[in-house]
Homo-oligomer: A and B are copies of this chain.
Amino acid sequence: MKVVIVGGVAGGASAAARLRRLDENAEIILLERGAYISFANCGLPYYVGGAITKKSALTLQTPESFRTRFGIDVRVNSEVTAVHPAEKTVEVRTADGTYTESYDKLILSPGAEPVQPPLPGLPNGRVFTLRTIPDAVRIRDYVDEEFPDSAVVIGGGYIGVEMAENLKQSGVETTIVELSDHLIAPLDFDMACEVHQYARSQGLNLVLKNGVKAVEEGAGGKLTVKLNEGEIETDMVILSVGVRPDTALAKAAGLACSPRGAILVDSRMHTSDENIYAVGDAVQITDFVTKQPGYVPLAGPANKQGRIAADNICGFPSEYKGTQGSSVLKLFDMTIAMTGLNERAAQAAGLDYDKMYTYNQSHASYYPGGHGISMKVLYEKGTGRLLGAQLIGYDGVDKRCDVLATAIRANMTAFDLTELELCYAPPFGSAKDPVNYAGYAIENVLTGKVKTFHWHDVATLPRDGSVTLLDVRTPAERAAGAIDGFTGIPLDELRQHLDELDPSKPIYVHCQSGLRSYLACRILSGHGFDCYNLTGGYRFYSLVTKEQKAPDHPCYEI
């Protein structure tokens, strides 16, 4: 059997190695248009920032090591320019010319390419994208040699935020320009608010809801980034407005692709051609939660898909059951993690969902060094099936997200979260883990023990006396900030003041994080009141509404 693999990074390299492990006698040819295979593309921002000091650390395998260990014919600087499915051949272009290579089975792992918006003024030697090792070297060399004072990162996705952090760490004043209202698109706006406020506290400038019109050479040797509203002078620009599947080759070969251009594959990573498989950032995936098609380019799924394609080629049935979008991001000391659906995705899928916001300490409050974890969990009404989670905090965020990712993979409900028996010792967690706690909070809603309202419901609550608005925090907390129209009765005095509350009116209660107001609701319900608890409490409400009130098109001159 002769297998040709197009693309030598995550999915392609995984497929090649697995093929060899399954078939010692197969002829395996790995064609990579760049100079490197199996490189650490997720590590590139950290090479720019210097956390990864050596370029050599970025290559997990060299062509030579791969050849030696796996007996694979690795050909770098070899670009496949055409696939001929009928003939079962590919055209390969190298520095020395082109040639035709035949295959029995073909695996396409071309990856994704950075979207290059057709902006006036591009290309420009000081405007960079980041996808390959040479890209990263170019940026780092520019920073090391030209000592830029400032940078503008266009696009606030994972790579944009990681690049902004790493440029800032390198001493470059950095502004992120993002067209939408929040960084990190897979987060909902409300959860992104805490990221925005933290990013600013770390010295990053954020320009949200603003687009780039052009990049021009400006005065004093600077670049001028022209925005829809305003402009920014800067020394360099990183373009990170997203990626798209790099599938011109696949389309030209007649393979079925999605409207977005991603290659269509079945669960065995099989394309519309019986001899061609495709994996990684070039393929359309099935969303694990909704079972709907989607496009989620991530390294973990790419690696898994490569292995699965190899399994199937070698006659071992193996299925890819979908992508749930588990991902995590470091931003200075903050950790941002998510898995499953966000609200937009749940709405798009037509799911009848609700959400719970919780805020718990990463470990026992009496043991030093803990931090709050802000968690948003989406669940299906009625069944309590877990749909997705977004988590923001510091230590222990990635752990809770991985637990929730595993729970979602196991089709668990919020009820199941209450039963999870997670490891506990004071330096690591609490006897009731934040994940258990989220389960309890949702269970209380699902079983009718409490009704909730959310931060976005607050503005439209009647202020005409037809309902009671109650803040059960302490006077000191209220003095530091309170919601208009809410009367203060501290939780621990509530039982003594029940006669001041009108039992004929619904009561909307909040505290700082949502726990004390839950206790207040239980007291009030026990006395016959119709009661609603603000999820996430004043902490989350004030965070989000503060961010909502930020200027629509802020623009900082650096």
Chain A residues close to B by CB (< 8 Å): 10, 20-25, 40, 42-43, 46, 51-52, 57-58, 60, 68-69, 71, 158, 288, 298-304, 307, 316, 321, 323-330, 335, 337-339, 364-368, 398-399, 401-403, 405-407, 409-410, 412, 416, 418-429, 431-433, 436, 440, 447, 449, 491-492, 495, 518-519, 522-523, 525-527
Contacts and interface: CB of A to CB of B under 8 A. Distances in A.
Please indicate which of the listed interface residues A10, A43, A429 has the most CB atoms of chain B within 10 Å of its own CB.
A43
Contacts of A523: 24
A69 B491 CA distance: 7
A335 to B, nearest CB: 8
A419 B43 contact: no
A318 B20 CA distance: 52
B492 A69 contact: yes
Contact of A406 (B301, B364, B407): B407
A416 B25 CA distance: 29
8 contacts: A52-B367, A303-B432, A327-B423, A327-B425, A399-B402, A403-B406, A405-B422, A409-B419
A145 B71 CA distance: 68
Given A402-B402, A406-B407, A328 B425 contact: yes
Given A316-B447, A431-B10, A21 B522 contact: yes
A466 to B, nearest CB: 25
B423 A398 contact: yes
Ranked 10 nearest A-B pairs via Cβ: A24-B526, A410-B410, A328-B423, A399-B399, A299-B431, A57-B366, A406-B406, A21-B522, A303-B431, A326-B421
A489 to B, nearest CB: 14
* Copies of this chain held together in the complex: 2
Given A299-B431, A519-B69, A426 B364 contact: no
Contacts of A335: 428
A421 B399 contact: no
A523 B358 CA distance: 51
A426 B40 CA distance: 9
Nearest to A492: B68
B406 A420 contact: yes
A442 to B, nearest CB: 15
Contact of A426 (B43, B304, B422, B491): B43
B406 A24 contact: no
B366 A60 contact: yes
Most chain B beta-carbon neighbours within 10 Å: one of A24, A410, A431: A431
A436 B303 CA distance: 11
Contacts of A51: 367-368
Nearest to A11: B431
Q: Which of the listed residues A58, A326, A447 has the most CB atoms from chain B within 10 Å of its own CB?
A: A326
Nearest to A411: B410
Given A10-B431, A52-B368, A431-B300, A421 B409 contact: yes
Contacts of A527: 24
Contacts of A25: 526
A416 B423 contact: no
Nearest to A21: B522
A330 B42 contact: no
Nearest to A325: B421
Given A24-B526, A431-B303, A425 B519 contact: no
B300 A432 contact: yes
Contacts of A431: 10, 42, 299-300, 302-303
Given A330-B425, A421-B326, A398 B399 contact: yes
B324 A426 contact: no
A403 B407 CA distance: 9
A405 B421 contact: yes
A68 to B, nearest CB: 5
Nearest to A17: B519
